[in-house]
């Protein structure tokens, strides 16, 4: 594996008046640039200063060029009009193409690989005025073999994967938002471990042109942000829609509490986070009802693994045949499993997934949103293992929108999130109820 490239030329000491620009939410930054309170250059410089101070420890970036980032910002400052994301620094997971930065996928097989065009999602944010700050570290090919990134709250612990760099960069105030991808739990787990909002939309809601697939029936582009409002802002640009509606403060939602079939994996801090959230939301006016998933859903984890291995082995067939020496043992095992898998096994997994999705209306019943564990607990110690994806993967294969909210801390003072799950294609309602939940739990929305 090649070392991440950090180019620091052009980083200057920030003026004291700009000290906290990198810590503000995206919505506030866009407002301040829009009304002239600050500039795109000042915001970008604040992020670069934070990266300069912390990157040796956090190691969140696969590629960043400070001079180029500032040049983007200065061009935006010279424009007479202000765009929806004018001057907002954004990170891009390094499995998503960028025309002006390499896409290397944490693999020596793609060292210095330079795409000719931006991925669709990158192009849309860039057109809306975002500063594409750099490429964030990914596990190899968005799999399980980790890169060098550490948890910003304690470098002895994993940041999660595979969107490790995006979670760590947003969690450490290096950038205001970042793209991630989720095939199992690769957006929500880094979000929970790093203390950010992690939003995985309905499957394929964000256009995937320019993404290196892992498993095309699972892969979903998502967002790591500071707040729910920030995720909503970015989605309004990506989908050309209005911002999600604000739920009245005195609303009385019906929230389904769902432990899932993996409850035995939950550590005390996750149990406490879920129970505390349910209790406090009930006190705020919500009706909390228990939801039990159908027994057949217990097979979804094995089905997701089958889809992942079978489809990944097809996506990476050429690498498996011709560049095997560039692959880690982790991904080689998946490719070997997928290559040897009988089609009937894969087909049965697809059928179970489709049958389960057909039952979702009955699962949700009349609840507004489902409350579930986000991860097993705090980020595990060590950097070789990115954590168990079971609490995220079961919802990923169901294609529903999910979001991790940074609501609690565990015994080691590391973040612990909760997960909210919405109905397919009702992402705006999930974001609206998420905003209501964080308001009632008393965290920055």
Of the residues 164, 186, 277, 374, only one is catalytic, namely 186
Q: Express each pLDDT in 207-266 by its tens digit.
A: 999 999 999 999 999 999 999 999 999 999 999 999 999 999 999 999 999 999 999 999
Per the residue annotation, which of 14, 59, 93, 135 is the catalytic one? Answer: 93
Nearest of 73, 68, 20, 19 to residue 44 by alpha carbon = 73
Selecting among 162, 166, 301, 434, the annotated active-site residue is 162
Flag whether pLDDT at 16 surpasses 70: no
> 17: pLDDT confidence band, cut at 50, 70 and 90?
very low
Q: What mean pLDDT do residues 160-167 have?
A: 98
Is 166 marked active-site?
A: no
Instruction: Please state, for a pLDDT cut of 90, what percent of the chain lies above it.
Output: 95
Confidence bin at 443 (pLDDT 50/70/90): confident
Q: Are 317 and 361 in contact (CB under 8 A)?
A: no
Write out the DSSP string of 346-407: HHHHHHHHHHHHHTHHHHHTT-SEEEEESSSSSPPBBSS-----HHHHHHHTTT--EEEEEE
Confidence at 13, pLDDT banded by 50, 70, 90: very low
186 classed as catalytic = yes
Identify each DSSP E strand in 183-259 by its residue range: 197-200, 220-225, 254-257
Query: How crowded is residue 16: how many other Cβ atoms within 10 Å of its Cβ?
Result: 6
**Angstrom distance (rounded) from CA 83 to CA 77:** 11
Residue 93 falls in the annotated catalytic set: yes
Q: Per-residue confidence at 202, pLDDT binned at 50, 70, 90?
A: very high
- Cα 280 to Cα 98, 273, 284, 442, distances in angstroms: 43, 11, 6, 10
- Whether the predicted pLDDT of 316 surpasses 60: yes
pLDDT exceeds cutoff 70 at 375 = yes
C-alpha closest to that of 30 among 171, 96, 98, 125: 125
Q: Determine the length of the chain.
A: 445
177-182 sheet: strands from edge to edge: 5-7, 61-65, 131-136, 89-93, 177-182, 220-225, 197-200, 402-409, 415-421, 369-373, 254-257, 287-290
Question: Residue 19's pLDDT is what?
Answer: 64
**Separation of first and last alpha carbons in the chain:** 38
Going by pLDDT thresholds of 50, 70 and 90, the confidence category of residue 445 is low
Q: Tokens for 189, please give them.
A: 């787990």
Which tokens is 146 given? 């980790």
Which CATH number, 3.20.20.70, 3.90.1300.10, 3.30.9.10, 3.40.50.2000, labels domain 5-239?
A: 3.90.1300.10
pLDDT of 444:
66
pLDDT computed for residue 25 by the predictor: 97
Q: Please report the DSSP string for 121-182 in residue order.
A: HHHHHHHTT-EEEEEE--SGGGSSS--S--BTTBTTB---SSSHHHHHHHHTTS-SEEEEEE
Give the pLDDT score at 14.
34
């Amino acid at each position: 594996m090649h070392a991440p490239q950090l180019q620091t030329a052009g980083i200057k000491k920030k003026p004291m008046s700009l000290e906290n620009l990198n810590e503000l939410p995206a919505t506030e930054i866009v407002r301040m640039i829009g009304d002239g309170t600050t500039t795109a250059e000042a915001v970008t410089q604040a992020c670069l200063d934070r990266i300069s101070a912390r990157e040796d420890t956090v190691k969140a970036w696969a590629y960043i060029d400070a001079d180029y980032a500032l040049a983007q910002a200065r061009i935006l400052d010279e424009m007479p009009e202000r765009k929806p994301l004018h001057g907002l620094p954004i990170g891009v997971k390094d499995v998503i193409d960028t025309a002006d930065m390499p896409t290397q996928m944490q693999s020596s097989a793609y060292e210095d690989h330079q795409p000719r065009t931006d991925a669709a999602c990158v192009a849309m944010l860039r057109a809306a005025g975002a500063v594409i700050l750099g490429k964030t570290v990914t596990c190899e090919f968005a799999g399980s073999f980790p890169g060098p990134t550490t948890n910003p709250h304690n470098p002895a612990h994993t940041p999660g994967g595979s969107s490790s760099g995006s979670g760590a960069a947003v969690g450490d105030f290096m950038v205001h938002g970042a793209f991630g991808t989720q095939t199992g739990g690769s957006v929500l787990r880094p979000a929970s471990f790093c203390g950010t909002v992690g939003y995985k939309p309905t499957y394929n809601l964000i256009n995937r042109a320019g993404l290196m697939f892992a498993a095309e029936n699972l892969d979903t582009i998502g967002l790591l942000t500071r707040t729910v409002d920030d995720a909503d802002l970015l989605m309004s640009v990506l989908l050309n829609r209005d911002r999600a509606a604000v739920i009245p403060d005195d609303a009385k939602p019906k929230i389904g509490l769902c432990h899932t079939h993996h409850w035995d994996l939950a550590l005390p801090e996750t149990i406490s986070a879920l129970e505390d959230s349910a209790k406090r939301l009930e006190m705020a006016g919500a009706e909390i009802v228990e939801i039990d998933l159908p027994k057949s859903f217990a097979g979804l984890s094995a089905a997701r693994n089958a889809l992942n291995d079978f489809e990944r082995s097809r996506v990476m067939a050429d690498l498996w045949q011709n560049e095997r020496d560039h692959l880690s043992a982790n991904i080689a095992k998946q490719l070997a499993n997928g290559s040897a898998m009988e089609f009937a096994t894969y087909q049965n997994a697809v059928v179970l997934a489709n049958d389960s999705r057909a039952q979702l209306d009955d699962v949700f019943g009349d609840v507004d949103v489902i409350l579930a564990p986000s991860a097993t607990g705090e980020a595990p110690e060590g950097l070789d293992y990115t954590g168990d994806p079971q609490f995220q993967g079961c919802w990923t294969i169901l294609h529903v929108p999910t979001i991790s909210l940074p609501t609690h801390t565990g015994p080691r003072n590391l973040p612990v999130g909760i997960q909210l799950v919405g109905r397919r294609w009702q992402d705006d309602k999930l974001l609206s109820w998420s905003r209501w939940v964080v308001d009632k739990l008393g965290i920055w929305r």
